[in-house]
A and B are shown apart, each in its own frame.
Chain A
């Protein structure tokens, strides 16, 4: 209780922004930033304590003079490029602002997937968390709310209840069977799905004018295609989109259709194949991509001591996070048209990355050698009787030890309340 006023007091000396403050005295705890801290959690209808969203949190922060001035400083600290940013962040002003903001509602806030103003929410989130973890962490905290058990249950019940899953698709060997074609049919018979699917396909297959294509441009507009894909996945119910993405296959024609779902020639492949390190850097410079990547790492991280290899045995969480990456700079896809041997990869290589090769491989292996993701995809398409891929207890090229970075341990603390993330902590410590 004594520390806080002292900190505020020092801040007013250290920070020139505050010198013309109307009140020369340090604010009492009642009017301080953390006064709003009590409202950091709103109780949801399900009784689960939901974190405050970061749009609301920044509104609360802006109502408070102390908090809003520090938030403004913090945004300036992060405005520069990669190099300047770390210098800026190390400065007294930025460190001071960060310290104050850690006590504000902005510190604990989260965003909802597909919420209104999602991008603004994520930008607010990173305006604090980027300063806390800049460039050092291999895995970052997801700015998204944990996927609720209710959602998980809803999904699990659909997997086990659907007649398709119970008998397994293609149970009758005599009948022609192509679940990916069935998924396309189901989508075409639904007006919203048909419209949205046609929209992204039309955009992603539209050739760029020949004069531009000659100027070493991509054969299509990648950005517009990826945006249309994101829109499709946002606006169409997962009951239509997931069967298109995760259908089970017996033959190559089916598997090729599955691979083609996202129009990979435009959305996934590029003329130039970057290194995975480059790709990761590109993604991290964009608030949306960075968030989706962090969410993927959190929900699809191979966990050695669960049956399915997934955190909390939550397949739905992993599939949702995977789908979240589609239409971002790190759009993953099936690497070939093998019907049963599912391999997911990114359009990048680790060849020639020199001393970054270990990190590069570790990053890409989270896609190519991920038993959690593979089991989740199989369980969706093939029903609950799908064979499980045995979990590799400790992935061979594991990223730099988290213990080496003293900062790594604490960002997880607010999550320890939620059991989902405690699991992840174990993973990090075990391997």
Chain B
């Protein structure tokens, strides 16, 4: 069997009610939640290669115990603008930066 190639970093979407967002708002209104997911294998720079090497053995040899992240990761590089909804008590709310608009390996 051939190994499946992992999906690259990209925008995915999910239909959620506002209550399900977990931000403390009570509203049955449904919205589209967009998030970033996928691998960032093709986005390794010299920085990442060196850092991985240091993480394995180099840091201890140099007398450092720093924790560093494991290569580039898939994160939103832009968020959707204002998102407004009516809650279950008939009050309007506007929330920002809830949903991703574009993803990148950073």
Show the binding face of A for B, using Cβ within 8 Å: 178, 181, 184-185, 188-189, 194-195, 197-199, 201-202, 204-205, 253, 256-257, 260, 263
Contacts and interface: CB of A to CB of B under 8 A. Distances in A.
Contacts of A184: 29-30, 85-86
Given A181-B29, A185-B29, A194-B31, A205 B94 contact: yes
A414 B28 CA distance: 52
Contact of B84 (A178, A198, A256, A257): A198
Contacts of B94: 198, 201-202, 205
A10 B15 CA distance: 74
Contacts of B83: 194, 198
Interface in B56-106: 81-86, 88, 90, 92, 94
B92 A263 contact: yes
B86 A199 contact: no
B31 A257 contact: no
B92 A188 contact: no
A245 to B, nearest CB: 14
Contacts of A256: 90
B32 interface: yes
B86 A188 contact: no
A257 B90 contact: yes
Interface residues of B, number: 16
Contacts of A188: 29-32, 85
A198 B30 contact: no
- The 5 A-B pairs at the shortest CB distance, nearest first, are namely A201-B84, A185-B30, A198-B84, A188-B31, A202-B94
Interface of B: 15, 28-32, 81-86, 88, 90, 92, 94
B90 A198 contact: no
Contacts of B85: 184, 188
A202 B90 contact: no
19 contacts: A178-B28, A181-B28, A185-B29, A185-B31, A188-B31, A189-B30, A195-B81, A198-B81, A198-B82, A198-B83, A198-B84, A199-B82, A201-B84, A201-B94, A202-B84, A253-B88, A256-B90, A257-B90, A260-B90
Nearest to B32: A189
A194 B90 CA distance: 18
B35 to A, nearest CB: 16
A12 B92 CA distance: 63
A134 to B, nearest CB: 42
Given A201-B84, A257-B90, 10 more contacts: A185-B29, A189-B30, A189-B31, A194-B31, A195-B81, A198-B82, A198-B94, A201-B92, A257-B86, A263-B92
Nearest to A199: B82
A195 B32 CA distance: 12
Contact of B86 (A194, A195, A202, A260): A260
